[in-house]
Amino acid sequence: MVGEWVYANSRRILSWGLNFRASGTGLLFALALIASEPSSAAESAGKVGALPILRIGFTPGEESDGLSLRTAELGQLLEKKLEASGTRVRIQTQVGRSYEDLVEQLKNKKVDFAFLNALSFVRAEEALQLKVLLKKVWENPYYYSVLLTQKRSAFKTLQSLQKARFAFVSEGSGSGHLYPLIALKGAKLDIATLKPEQVRFTGAHDRSVELLKRGEVDVIAVFSNTKSALDSAWTQHGGRVGDVRVLWVSEPIPNDPFVVRKDYYDRHPRLVHELMLSLIELSESEAERPTLTRLLGVKSLMWATAQQYDPVRKISALSKELRASSAQDSGTSPEANKPPREAK
């Protein structure tokens, strides 16, 4: 009887054992938790007789239409994988209108899980409790922020950019705004002092790329998976490496985390770990990994912890200090120096 129960629940036990792999009591804790939980996912979610709904949010890193279609397909794929393991759920996917909008949806409990960028996660945890589950992996478990300009432009250093026209993604973008902002400040260039026509916020990395292609801006701040920008927002959206110059590259930034609201995790740990394991299985399956790459734009997913984002917390704190300093120098409030959010 016990052997049959353990075999039937082996997938759940494995997920807990992996998640608590640093703890010698993790497996025993998993067994105790599974035994104490209701026998069905519907009961666990408090929806006896109806399928529980898992709501997953995604950051708007590119034009939302194509991303919405791909994330919806990912949701359907996860539903099938979960059902194959004995857990029937319905998954709703939603792309935030902005980085800030997605955080608000988490705060207002309109989504339960979310793929955030590193900065959004750090800012979000100041307002609500989140649990880091996984993180995206491209070529490495980290990525970079880069400042790019056309190869033919006259701009060759950060110090030469006083009259440049910039395109940033949004205030909530680490690679598309915060990291470059601090680098420019270190080069004695305060974005807050530039003319309004010199600074644009596009809302998405691919939009910034298009502006640079058309010559409507001189410099863009975007992500890159490599220091050389060989694999970056520029190349992923049709740009040729030989057409741009890398003006600056950041230190490695921890990849985007997949998080869950802690209150949801506390109520439905089994569902959370079933979803985690399904994503990991997609990532590790030779047959299914190409589909995950096509839908989510990543090479794989891996386990993650909140502590891995301590470097981003330090950068976020530094940005607040710089904003306060700029406000003090200009005689305005820090709020007045905040760039506008992208159109919603």
Q: Give yes or no: residues 54 and 179 share one domain.
A: no
| pLDDT for the residue numbered 23 | 38
Residue 2 lies in a domain: no
In order of 18, 302, 305, the CA distances from 284 in angstroms are 14, 9, 19
Q: Give yes or no: residues 316 and 222 share one domain.
A: yes
Residue 62 has pLDDT above 80, yes or no: no
Q: Which residue has the higher pLDDT, 321 or 261?
A: 261
Question: What does pTM read for this prediction?
Answer: 0.71
Residue 261 lies in a domain: yes
Across the chain, mean pLDDT equals: 83
Half-sphere exposure of 225 (CA within 13 A, CB side): 17
Average pLDDT over residues 39-55: 60
Q: Give yes or no: residues 181 and 48 share one domain.
A: no
Average pLDDT over residues 236-263: 95
Residue 28 lies in a domain: no
Looking at the chain, the whole-number percentage of residues with pLDDT higher than 70 is: 78
b/e per residue 207-245 (b: at least 16 CB within 10 A): bbbbbbbeeebbbbbbbbbbeebebbbbbbbebeeeebb
Q: Which residue has the higher pLDDT, 330 or 88?
A: 88
Q: Give yes or no: residues 202 and 288 share one domain.
A: no
Q: Give yes or no: residues 147 and 121 share one domain.
A: no
8 A C-beta contact, residue 336 and residue 163: no
Q: Where are the alpha helices (DSSP H) in 39-167?
A: 41-44, 64-84, 99-107, 118-124
Res. 99 pLDDT band, cuts 50 70 90:
confident
8 A C-beta contact, residue 132 and residue 276: no
Q: Give yes or no: residues 221 and 320 share one domain.
A: yes
Residue 24 lies in a domain: no
**282 lies in which domain range?**
37-139+255-304
Residue 323 lies in a domain: yes
Res. 321 pLDDT band, cuts 50 70 90:
confident
Residue 132 has pLDDT above 50, yes or no: yes
pLDDT digits (tens, 9 = 90+) for 163-172: 999 999 988 7
* Strand ranges, E, within the chain: 53-58, 90-95, 113-115, 130-137, 142-150, 166-168, 199-201, 219-224, 244-249, 253-254, 257-261, 300-303
| pLDDT for the residue numbered 180 | 95
Residue 28 has pLDDT above 70, yes or no: no
Q: Give yes or no: residues 216 and 316 share one domain.
A: yes
Which residue type is seen at 318?
Answer: L
Residue 188 has pLDDT above 80, yes or no: yes
| CATH number of 239's domain | 3.40.190.10
| pLDDT for the residue numbered 98 | 85
Q: Give yes or no: residues 243 and 208 share one domain.
A: yes
Token readout for 268 is: 């439905």
8 A C-beta contact, residue 196 and residue 336: no
Residue 128 has pLDDT above 90, yes or no: yes
The torsion angles phi and psi of 113, rounded to 5 degrees, stand at: -120, 160
> CB pairs under 8 A, 24+ apart, for 120-123?
120/59, 120/172, 120/174, 121/257, 121/259, 121/309, 121/312, 122/309, 122/312, 122/313, 122/316, 123/172, 123/316
Q: Give yes or no: residues 244 and 176 share one domain.
A: yes
Residue 25 lies in a domain: no
8 A C-beta contact, residue 264 and residue 127: no
Average pLDDT over residues 187-198: 92
Rounded CA-CA distance 35/9 in Å is 10
Q: Give yes or no: residues 76 and 63 share one domain.
A: yes
Among 42-46, 51-55, 92-96, 174-178, the minimum mean pLDDT is found in: 42-46
pLDDT digits (tens, 9 = 90+) for 255-314: 999 999 999 999 999 999 999 999 999 999 999 999 999 999 888 999 999 999 999 998
Token readout for 339 is: 């760039």
Q: Please count the structural domains in the chain.
A: 2
In order of 18, 170, 241, 257, 273, the CA distances from 229 in angstroms are 34, 20, 7, 22, 35
Residue 93 lies in a domain: yes
Among 12-16, 63-67, 68-72, the minimum mean pLDDT is found in: 12-16
Q: Give yes or no: residues 326 and 222 share one domain.
A: yes
Residue 78 lies in a domain: yes
| pLDDT for the residue numbered 328 | 60
Which residue type is seen at 59?
Answer: T
Rounded CA-CA distance 320/310 in Å is 16
| pLDDT for the residue numbered 18 | 47
Res. 37 pLDDT band, cuts 50 70 90:
very low
Q: Give yes or no: residues 113 and 185 share one domain.
A: no
